[in-house]
Amino acid sequence: MDIKAILRIAKSQLEQSGIIQTDAEHLMAHVLGLPRMDLHNVVLVETMLSAVSDTGIIEEQFFALLDRRINHEPLQYITGLAPFRYLEIEVGPGVLVPRPESELLVDAVLAHIKNLPAPVSVIDLGAGSGALALAIATEAPEARVIAVEKSPEAIYWLKRNVSVIAHNVRVVEGDVAEVLPGVKCDVVIANPPYIPNSGQLPRDVIAFEPHIALFGGVTGMELPKLFIEAAARLLKPAGVLVIEHSENQAIAIATELAVDFEDIALHDDLLGRPRWSSAVRR
C-alpha cells in the first residue's frame, strides 16, 4: 500500500472539488488511528501497515470517507471530532461544528473570570456541542458552568461531550427565554443563530449543519434579540455578556444591548473580523 500515491490521488480529487487538500491527510490519519503529523514518519507507518493482514481494507475505508468529503460533508462529521482550544469535541449530524474563530471569546471570558471572586457562575446559551462551556469548565475549573441547549439533536452531543470531558458542567434543555427562572449568574455566553433566513452559506454548512442553529430570522436579528433579553434576565448587576454575531451585525447588536447593558465593546475574531461583542449588565 503506497500511502503517498493514495494521498496524491486524493488531494487532486479534493482540489477539483474546491476542498482544501490537507483534508486527505486528516482522513488517512483517522483511518490509521494516527495523529496527522505521524503520516510523515515513514518507519512508523510502514511498521503499522506490516502488521495489517489486508491493507486493501484500509484503502477501501479511506476512499469511502474521501467520497463523503468530496460530497462536502464536513470533515469533522466524518472523523467525529472537532479540535477546539485544548479539547477534542465530538460532533455529528444535528450539531454545529465548533469554529476556531470563537477561541478569542473564550480567552476574554477566562481573563474576566480571574478578576472575580470565586465561585464564578457562567451560563452558555445555545451551547450546541458544548465547546465554549467545556473550554471554560476545563480551563477555569473553579467556575460553575451551565450549558443551555434547545435542540434534542444537539443535546445528544452536548451530554456526550460533558460526560467525557467535564462532569461538573450542568446541562439544561430548554428555550433560552424560559430556562433557569430565578437564577442569576456572573457571565453569560451567547451563540445565537444569527444568519438571515435568506443568507448564503458554504455548501458544507448549508447541506449538512442544522439550520435551527444557523438562521436567526428574516433579518438574522430576531433570535439574537431573544438571547440578549435572556441574558439580561439571567445576569447579576455588573454581570458580563459576550455574544457572537456576524461581522455585519455590530451596530444592530449594540442597539439591542443598549436597552439593558452598558460598556458595550466590539471584538475581532482570530481572522481579524468583528465577530463578537461584550457588555455589562446595568
- Model pLDDT, residue 2: 83
- Model pLDDT, residue 52: 75
Q: Any idea which fold 94-281 has?
A: Rossmann fold (3.40.50)
**Which set of grid coordinates corresponds to residue 15?**
482540489
Residue type, 275: R
Mean pLDDT per 10-residue segment, the chain (282 residues): 89 96 96 88 79 81 97 98 97 96 93 95 98 97 97 98 95 97 97 96 96 97 98 98 96 98 94 94 97
Residue located via cell numbers 443598549: 258
Nearest to 204 by CA among 65, 55, 75: 75
Rounded to whole angstroms, the Cα distance separating 98 from 123 reads: 18
pLDDT at 3: 86
Contacts of 194 (CB under 8 A, 6+ apart): 216, 220, 221, 223, 224, 244, 245, 246, 249
Integer Cα distance of 8 and 12 in angstroms: 6
Contact 5, 63 (CB under 8 A): no
Set of cell numbers at residue 91: 460532533
Quick one: pLDDT at residue 56?
A: 82
CA angle 10, 13, 19 (to 5 degrees): 100
* Residue 239 per-residue DSSP state: E
How many residues comprise the chain? 282
Percent of the chain past pLDDT 70, that is, above it, reads: 99
Rg (CA), the chain: 21
Annotated domain spans of the chain: 3-71, 94-281
Q: What is the pLDDT of residue 126?
A: 97
90 within 8 A of 159, measured Cβ to Cβ:
no
Residue labelled with grid coordinates 447588536: 253
**Neighbour tally for 204: CB within 10 Å:** 18
| Alpha helices by DSSP H, the chain | 3-16, 23-32, 42-50, 55-70, 75-79, 103-114, 131-139, 152-165, 203-208, 222-234, 250-257
What is the model's pLDDT at position 270?
83
Residues 276 and 264: their CA atoms lie apart, in Å, by: 11
